[in-house]
Structure 1
Amino acid sequence: MNKHIASSFRTPSSFVTFRFARLQNSLNAQATFLLRSKADLSLVEWRLIQSLRMFENASMTELSGHVQMDKGQLSRKISAMVKKGLLRVEKDKHDQRVQHLHLTEKAQRLSDQMMPTMEARQTLLLADVPEDDLATFYRVLEKIEEASKIRDIE
């Protein structure tokens, strides 16, 4: 490791993980406010609805892998969303242990209702970021994500 980089880790804000956590908390608070106030949705519900829009008829296992959520936690959230009328669950015709998830009309309507707000939010977040900086940022994120998978660290 570069000695300059290693010696610069003096304050919490100099750690990339601290900065990511702080940013994530701020972004989550903003999104949660928008979703709760305009559609009575939680951030997790929004993410699951958007994931199921992309992967219609996904199984719980497939969805768990996509959203990187613990299967137990996901199962509890799915049950709550079924009770709230956002999802319906259908057992697989060939394997009764597999459950396929489907958005209800209510979930589709809420997603359509919130999409302009969430797109406006994305525009706001990126308004002052030049395209080449954003491309660099995404490349850096990919490298940090790959490095985060390494477990043998001395």
Structure 2
Amino acid sequence: MKQDQKPRPRQLTSFVTFRLARLQASLNAQATSILKTSSGLSLVEWRILQTLEWFEFNTLKQLSDITEIDKGQLSRKIASMVDKGLLEQTPDEMDKRVQHLTLTQRARDICAKAMPIMQARQDLLLKDVSKDDLEVFYKVIDKLEAASKTREIP
């Protein structure tokens, strides 16, 4: 190797983080397009509505913890969704700083219309993936997620 040449780094495309980021961007673009066309919702709005519908909690902190969306960003999005008539906020009886979130009937109707379309998308994404491959994939994702919590690299 010539003295002025640097060693060639690994191909960026071999990094798991690069591949996952690229896949996430593609999936997000696809979901955004489908949701916009079918329901007028943004991807973040869809995730918020579905999370509130699926889990038995309803506060901003709980929502932020499960979705891992920044509380400030989430607060602004929730305010926008309240303005659009998708969510209602009710102060907690014990702690007025805590707001309980509930889906409006309008939001439930939109979700009911969009869910079969999003389920069809899910089916399309997984049509060529075997049950065994999907099980392995989820195990790998769990391991990567656990490893991503480490902040010091040995």
TM-score, normalised by the number of residues in structure 2:
0.92
Partner AA of 2:122 in structure 1: Q
Secondary structure class of the residue paired with 2:96: coil
Q: Does 1:153 align with 2:153?
A: yes
How far is the alpha carbon of 1:12 from its aligned partner? 1.2
Q: Which runs of 5+ in 1 are unaligned?
A: 1-8
How far is the alpha carbon of 1:128 from its aligned partner? 0.3
Match of 1:86 in 2: 86
Match of 1:16 in 2: 16
Separation in 1, partners of 2:24, 2:119: 18
Secondary structure class of the residue paired with 1:94: coil
Match of 2:73 in 1: 73
Within-5 A mapping of 1:3-152: 10-55=10-55, 58-152=58-152
Write out per-residue CA displacement over residues 51-76 of structure 1, whole angstroms, 9 at most, x where no aligned residue. Answer: 01023551111111011011110000
How far is the alpha carbon of 1:11 from its aligned partner? 1.2
Separation in 2, partners of 1:94, 1:145: 35
Asked if the contact 1:56–1:101 (Cα under 8 Å) also holds between the matched residues in 2, the reply is no
Secondary structure class of the residue paired with 2:58: coil
Which protein shows a greater Rg?
Answer: 2
Separation in 1, partners of 2:40, 2:133: 35
Partner AA of 2:106 in structure 1: K
TM-score, normalised by the number of residues in structure 1:
0.92
Q: Give runs of ≥4 in structure 1 deviating > 3 Å.
A: none
Secondary structure class of the residue paired with 1:101: strand
RMSD: 1.3
Asked if the contact 1:92–1:98 (Cα under 8 Å) also holds between the matched residues in 2, the reply is yes
Secondary structure class of the residue paired with 2:34: helix
Asked if the contact 1:57–1:102 (Cα under 8 Å) also holds between the matched residues in 2, the reply is no
Separation in 2, partners of 1:120, 1:126: 10
Separation in 2, partners of 1:119, 1:55: 18
How far is the alpha carbon of 1:38 from its aligned partner? 1.1
Percent identical: 55
